[in-house]
Structures are given as C-alpha cells and as structure tokens.
Amino acid sequence: MATSTPRDQRLDSAKGILISLVVLGHLLEATSTWNAEMIRLPLTIIYMFHMPAFVFLSGISAKRDNLPRRIGTFLVLLLTFQALYYAAVWLSPLERDFSPFMPFWLLWFLLGMIWWLLLLPLVWRAPRSAVAASVVIAVAAGAIDEMGYAFSISRVLVFLPFFITGTVYGKQILDFASNIGRWLKVCAGAACLALGWILFSTDIHQGWLYGSYSFERLNAGTGEGLAIRAGLLAVAALTTFTVLSLMPRHRNPAAVIGRRSLGIFLLHGFVVLAVTPLLPLGQVGANTVTALVACVFIAMLVVRVLAAPPIDRSVRQYGSKVMDLASRIFEREADRQPVRK
C-alpha cells in the first residue's frame, strides 16, 4: 500500500507563525504607517525577517515536478485576486493606486513565486553556483536606479537567495537548526532581538526592509547601499535560522494554521482594508497602546477565522479547478488541429 510522506510539523509551525506576523504587520501599518515608535518597534522586528523567512520556506516546499501547472495556478490566483482587490478598493473610501505593471500590495508574492519557479530548472543545473550568484544579485540589485515595484522584480531579486537556498539546502538547514543546543538557541534569539532594537534605534527606513527600492531612492550611495543590503540579508538569515531552530516537531496549533496559510494570506487583505479607516489610532499618545492591543486581537481573530478548513479548501480548489478547465480546453483545441503529413 502506498503511503504519503508525513508532513514536517516544523515547517507548518513556522508557516503558521509567519502568516500570523504577516497579518499583524499589515494591521500595524494601517494604524500609523511607521510613525509611532511603539508601533514602529514591532514592525521593524517583523519586517526584518518575516518575508525572507517565508520565501525560504517556499523554497523548501518548491517541487520540480509539474512546474507549468504550479506556475499556472499562481497566475490564476494572481489575476483573480488582483481583480477582487481592485473591486474592494473601488467600493471603499481608501485611495490606492493600481497599475497593470505591478501586483496590488500583498499580491507581489504570487508574482514572485512565478518568477522563482521559472528559475528552478536553471537552479538545479548548478545548485551551488545558483546559491552564490543569488547572493551577489540580491546585494547588488539596489544599485540599479530603476528598481522598484514594477513586476515585483526588486523584491524577487532581493529575496532570491532565500528561495534558492531553501530549494537547495533548506532541509539540511532545518535539521541543523533543530539540533543546535538550547543555550545556543537562547543566545541566537537574544542576538536577533538586539539586532532588531539596533535597526529600530537607527530609525532605518522601511523601504530597506521592503526590498522594493533602489539605493538612490533610499538616499544612499552605492557603497553604503551595498553594505546596508548585505547586512540586512545577514540579519534576515540569522533570524530565519533562529526561528526555525525553535519550531516543535509535534503537531500544534501553529502547525494547523501553517497548513492553511494560503487562504489566510490571500484573504486577510480584505479585512485590513475594511478596518483601516478605524485604525489610525496609533499616531499620538496613549492611543498607541490601544492600537497595538487592537491589532494583536484583530490579527488573532482573522487568522483563526480564515484558517477554517472550508475557506482554505475553497481557495486551493478554485486554483486547481481553473487549471483543470484550462487543461481540458487546451487539449480539446489541440485535438481539433489538423494533423500535418
């Protein structure tokens, strides 16, 4: 009897924690857009590693088989939710820009996955060289002045080492991280918190953490920009490693959430857009604490609701069924073509 490979609870747990941080980070941004210090501190710590870590986990999960279908599914979800978010913004009092050349807000990750998956055949031809080249590309990408949000290219290049390293060495890194000593884990965690405090204290511009701006737009020279980018990639790598080292091997609530992270990721933005007019509380005074507590509570509620099996199943089945329909249409059209002698 064929048996399926058991899920790695460490990966699911990490995904559950990271998707919760994604939701919380977006809610915190809605309160003050990085203006209030009490909001900016957790935002800095979240953004210094959460997307690189998510990309790393995506690299571990990336499979070489049936790539066209996987890419097509991400494309279906991207186009569908681009239209849905356009409608949501059009119906809301918010002012958000849309462009055919860039995904809306959080949807950049879907386009990023398409680009990264397209690179997989090249990566597996020379995996070690691909890892080394990706680091050089990520550090140097900001030197191109035109880098920005268009087609998510900047973020794709900046976070590229995490995807490729996750693809090539991810499982080995996960095993190594899980097996380091307890005190080393504590020291690594303390070091990461200290680095987060340093980034906060230096008032680093959030554009550095987004990975979507060139050095010129961030008012940095090429040399300074290369040094800052390299340092931030190192901080993200250390923090990602530390988080992975703390993940339990047994089934837990975070792992359940992690298995259903796709629906949470795609749908939580509608909640954030809906509550944004109610959340500019964190800009002044005591309202900052109220806003912080409110965001944590809303994030927990959103994650819990959107992790419901029917919601996650509906999102996944939608992409799969659209691809099945597209495949049938393609095969039908191919059968209609006359055979050339």
pLDDT tens for the chain, 341 residues long, are: 444 567 889 999 999 999 999 999 999 988 877 888 888 999 999 999 999 999 999 999 988 788 888 999 999 999 999 999 999 888 877 777 777 778 988 999 999 999 999 999 999 999 999 999 999 999 999 998 877 788 889 999 999 999 999 999 999 999 999 999 999 999 999 999 999 999 999 999 999 999 998 999 999 999 999 999 999 999 999 999 999 999 998 889 999 999 999 999 999 999 999 888 877 654 555 577 888 888 999 999 999 999 999 998 999 899 888 888 877 776 665 556 665 55
What pLDDT, on a 0 to 100 scale, did the predictor assign at position 339? 53
Q: Please check whether residue 58 is in contact with residue 91, taking contact to mean a CB–CB distance below 8 angstroms.
A: no
The CA distance from 123 to 113, in Å, is 14
What pLDDT, on a 0 to 100 scale, did the predictor assign at position 26? 94
Q: Show the DSSP H helices in the chain as ranges.
A: 9-32, 37-47, 50-61, 67-91, 108-125, 127-140, 153-158, 160-178, 182-201, 206-210, 222-245, 253-259, 261-275, 287-306, 309-336
What pLDDT, on a 0 to 100 scale, did the predictor assign at position 324? 80
Summarised one tens digit per residue, pLDDT across range 217-244 is: 999 999 999 999 999 999 999 999 999 9
Please give the DSSP secondary-structure letter assigned to residue 339: P
What pLDDT, on a 0 to 100 scale, did the predictor assign at position 5? 62
What pLDDT, on a 0 to 100 scale, did the predictor assign at position 99? 75
Cβ neighbour number for residue 52 with a 10 Å cutoff: 26
Cβ neighbour number for residue 160 with a 10 Å cutoff: 25
SS3 92: coil
Q: Which residues contact 272 (CB under 8 A, 6 or more apart)?
A: 23, 26, 27, 30
- DSSP string for residues in 13-81: HHHHHHHHHHHHHHHHHHHHTT-SHHHHHHHHHHHTTHHHHHHHHHHHH--STTHHHHHHHHHHHHHHH
**Residue ranges per structural domain of the chain:** 14-332
Half-sphere exposure at residue 257, Cβ-oriented, CA atoms within 13 angstroms: 24
What pLDDT, on a 0 to 100 scale, did the predictor assign at position 336? 65
